[in-house]
Structure 1
Amino acid sequence: MVELPVVNQPVHRSGALLDHLARRMRLRAESVLAPLGLRPRHLVTLTVLRQQGGCSQQALSGTLEMDGTNVVGLLNDLERDGLIERRRSPEDRRRHVVVLTDKGARVLVKAECALAAVEDDVLGALDETQRETLYGLLQQAATGVPLVCTGDDADADTEQC
């Protein structure tokens, strides 16, 4: 009988727990976004457009890691609802720049407030310090770059809920 070497492994594995929390968050998020006419992918798109101040459809496709055809359908939904506009690029008239409309910015703030309540529900057992720690660790895991918070990082474009 061959003995396998003992490998130092953490006592706890996080994958299943992260999946469970993500599922709870996703289900609740979908239920609060639906009355606003949004799906999670709409929210992500609106958030990216606010952060970038608009961008080309191609750049948006890359940022969202979505096929260009799917991005066109997504943008059609958002444009139909008046949340975004496609404008001709001043640098290249063959391309479009996608921008968030004022209505889109207002709906995004409402969605973020609704999602804050969802997060409070799902993460209610954690205090504010623990939530900040969790956020920093998740950000670090997602990007591979440690998050540095100064306490002055408030997003000026986001209203308080």
Structure 2
Amino acid sequence: MKSLPVVNQPAHRCGALLDHIARRIRLRSESVLAPLGLRPRHLIALTVLRDGGGSTQQALAGTLEMDGTNVVGLLNDLESEGLIERRRSPKDRRRHVVELTPAGGERLAKAEFALAAVEDEVFAGLDFEQRETLYELLQQVTGVDSATCVEAAREDAAEAAKTGR
């Protein structure tokens, strides 16, 4: 059987390497978050709350793309550690507003510092310019930049709050 000629294709495929790097980062990240009592989903919720200045539970569920019941469990974990605070919304007593506590902000900062060290370890073979180039290439592939990601999360949270999702 004849193979078809490949035109304008790169000599190497990146998928397996990206998967390997993602797995390395994920495993190392989990190992540095565990002593802080955090899991990746906790970190994401804390980051969204910090960047958004708080949220309703429903909006947070929408932003995190999680079922409301699962968000309640996640928030229970964070609240029991004193990392977040839930209170009734003064605008609508049926809703809960979730905010990061000072302790939550401190724990998040420690986690981000630890995760930066993980990236430094995984990408140690690249110099500063190469890492910046990699970041720009990854942004190009995803079609978004970090500011766009944060703004999209805020818009989703605002829309979820309006629609009651």
TM-score range normalised by the length of the shorter chain = 0.7 to 0.9
- After superposition, the Cα gap between the structure-2 partners of 1:7 and 1:93, relative to the gap in structure 1 and judged at 3 Å, is farther
TM-score if structure 2 supplies the norm length? Answer: 0.80
Other-structure match for 1:111:
111
Q: Gaps spanning 5+ residues in structure 2: where?
A: 148-165
Q: Which amino acid aligns with 1:29?
A: S
Instruction: Tell me by how many angstroms 1:55 deviates.
Output: 0.8
What amino acid is aligned across from residue 78 of structure 1 in structure 2?
L
Q: How far 1:146 sits from its partner (Å)?
A: 5.6
* Cα separation, partners in 2 of 1:91 and 1:31, compared to 1, 3 Å: same
Structure (1 or 2) with the greater helix fraction = 2
CA shift, 1:32, in A, is: 0.8
- Map 1:110-129 onto structure 2 (within 5 A): 110-129=110-129
Within 5 Å, which residues of 2 pair with 1:66-105?
66-105=66-105
Structure of higher RCO (CA pairs closer than 8 Å, 6+ residues apart)? 2
Contact 1:136 1:147 in 2 (8 A): no
Identity of aligned pairs, percent?
Answer: 75
Query: Which segments of 5 or more consecutive residues in structure 1 lack a partner in the other structure?
Result: 149-161
Task: Give the Cα separation in 2 of the matches to 1:122 and 1:19.
Answer: 13
Structure-1 residue corresponding to 2:144: 145
Amino acid at match of 2:124: G
Equivalent residue of 2:125, what SS?
Answer: coil
Aligned length: 147
Counterpart in 2 of 1:29? 29
Supply the distance in 1 between the matched residues of 2:20 and 2:87 (Cα, whole angstroms). Answer: 40
